[in-house]
Amino acid sequence: MVAAIAALSISAGAPAGAQPADPASAPPRYEPSAQEWQDAVAKVMGYIRNDYLGVPPDGTPPVQTGRAALRELAGRLDRQAEYIEPEDFDRLRERSRVGLDVRLTASPAHGLILTSVRPDGPGARAGLRIGDRLLSVNGTPVESRSPDDVLGSLAPSTPGPLNLRVERAGATISLSAEPDLGVRPRIRAAERRGPVGYVAVGSLGEKVSEELHAAILQLLAERDDLAGLVLDLRDCPGGLLDEVAPTAALFLGAGPVFQQRERDGQKPVRAKRKSRDVLGGRPLIVLVDSQTASGAELLAGALQERGRARLLGVRTQGMGLVQLIVPLVFGSGGAFKLTTSELQLPSGKGFHRRGLSPDIWVARSASDLDPDPRLHLRQDDLPEDPRLPIPATPAPVPTSVSMPPAGYEGDYQLDQAIALLSPPAA
């Protein structure tokens, strides 16, 4: 499996709780020869020539050699393109560790911004906040590194505190955080909330459709009069493209799930699935927010466009691109990531740099509507990439947004969804 959305994990790895290997006991890494590096560069140039979605560069061979040549090629493409070092590629092929349970977005205006900090995660316990600008990790500046690379540093394989420096409201703050070495769960929660079922998806990782199916069947077994289901895709970054169709098929009958716009202009339907609705027609509400991205947006959009679910929350991230991850020298040379297609809803409508607008606008807190983009950085907050011109069409402006009352304790969006699905009191 080499294709992934937004450079997320591409295969499963060690089970939760497994102890990390001692780096000192690892065998020495194979270093590719000069000829192998030359072949790797030629391979990447072939992919750029034949598969790259954006404006292709002129095809001039790179001036540099080896890893430097691959970085030079990435610099000629859109901002999603990247040469992935061998150590980082090893980590990418594993199931992602929890680390500090945060997400980063690179903004030309603001640097590396924390766009998500899970409330009960290690980062939040250390004092990190959404909107913080990350400056350094263990004394090493991060300004020239990619978000994926830095997130790897925030999810190490060995125990020990991470010393962080962040900028907040013009002040520099030093923090110490203890990362979680466990594996990030695909299903974060599956439980009954009164007469309603609730399932939270952490990522669309390998076999998540099977895990979601089992979780829903368990909820139905516990209460066959379940009034409906809340599917929580908030803060879900997407995952494997191959998991979108079988996950959507749990709720949809026959028909397209999504399309892709590729370089040759074709829009092939990726999946038409015949299946029985696992909920038996019970109503479905999907929770979304500004960090619902990529495959999670595709899933939510398919359910919304096909009329199977209502979306509740705020506008989503607007990350609708697919990157191909090309291993080099059997992985010993790392990998190269380039954009090869644009994701589209069943109708052929794209959502990149626009996002999905919910059917029911409900804010979780006042920060959801704060004009400061650092608090909910979306793709249309970033400048358009001239090498991958996908204009951001204006998103609809809501006429009204339900806000939690002052002093509200609890998850207002989830509570509103449960209230909408719950049968009226007798």
Q: 145-176, pLDDT tens digit by residue? A: 888 778 888 888 788 999 999 999 889 999 99
Domain edges within the chain = 100-182, 185-323+330-384+392-421
pLDDT exceeds 70 at position 96: no
Q: How far apart are CA 45 and CA 24, in angstroms?
A: 36
Q: What is the dihedral of CA 181, 95, 214, 298, to 10 degrees?
A: 120
Write out the DSSP string of 5-64: ETT---S--SPTTPPPPPGGGSPPPPPPPHHHHHHHHHHHHHHHHHH--S-----PPPSS
Roughly what angle, to the nearest 10 degrees, separates helices 34-51 and 66-75? 20
Homologous superfamily of 185-323+330-384+392-421 = 2-enoyl-CoA Hydratase; Chain A, domain 1 (3.90.226.10)
Residue 426: HSE in the Cβ half-sphere, 13 Å Cα cutoff? 0
Q: How far apart are CA 292 and CA 235, in angstroms?
A: 5
Q: CB–CB of 219/197 below 8 Å?
A: yes
Percent of the chain surpassing pLDDT 70: 89
The answer to whether the Cα torsion of 90, 12, 179, 232 is positive or negative is: positive
Report the pLDDT averaged over residues 321-349: 91
Report the pLDDT averaged over residues 397-416: 92
pLDDT exceeds 80 at position 27: no
Amino acid (1-letter code) at residue 279: L
How high is the pLDDT of residue 121? 86
How high is the pLDDT of residue 272? 52
How high is the pLDDT of residue 138? 93
Higher local confidence (pLDDT), 168 or 25: 168
Q: How much is the pTM?
A: 0.82
Q: How far apart are CA 304 and CA 307, in angstroms?
A: 5
Range from 9-13, 118-122, 328-332, 359-363 carrying the lowest mean pLDDT: 9-13
How high is the pLDDT of residue 290? 92
The listed range with the strongest mean pLDDT (10-14, 193-197, 387-391) is: 193-197
> pLDDT-based confidence at 19, cuts 50/70/90?
very low
Report the pLDDT averaged over residues 15-33: 52
Q: CB–CB of 286/233 below 8 Å?
A: yes
Q: CB–CB of 132/372 below 8 Å?
A: no
Report the pLDDT averaged over residues 33-61: 92
> pLDDT-based confidence at 144, cuts 50/70/90?
confident
Higher local confidence (pLDDT), 139 or 87: 139
**Which CATH fold would you assign to the domain 100-182?**
Pdz3 Domain (2.30.42)
CA 136 to centroid of chain Cα atoms:
23
Percent of the chain surpassing pLDDT 90: 52
Q: Helix %, strand %, coil % for the chain, to 5?
A: 25, 25, 50
Classify residue 141 by its DSSP letter.
E
Report the pLDDT averaged over residues 257-282: 78
Report the pLDDT averaged over residues 43-72: 92
- How many residues would you count in the chain? 426
Residues 6+ apart with CB under 8 A from 73: 41, 44, 45, 48, 62, 81, 83, 336
Range from 24-28, 104-108, 322-326 carrying the lowest mean pLDDT: 24-28
CA 333 to centroid of chain Cα atoms:
25
How high is the pLDDT of residue 6? 35
How high is the pLDDT of residue 68? 95
How high is the pLDDT of residue 274? 60
Burial 57-69 (b: 16+ CB within 10 A, else e): eeeeebeeebbeb
> pLDDT-based confidence at 23, cuts 50/70/90?
very low
pLDDT exceeds 80 at position 7: no
pLDDT exceeds 60 at position 378: yes
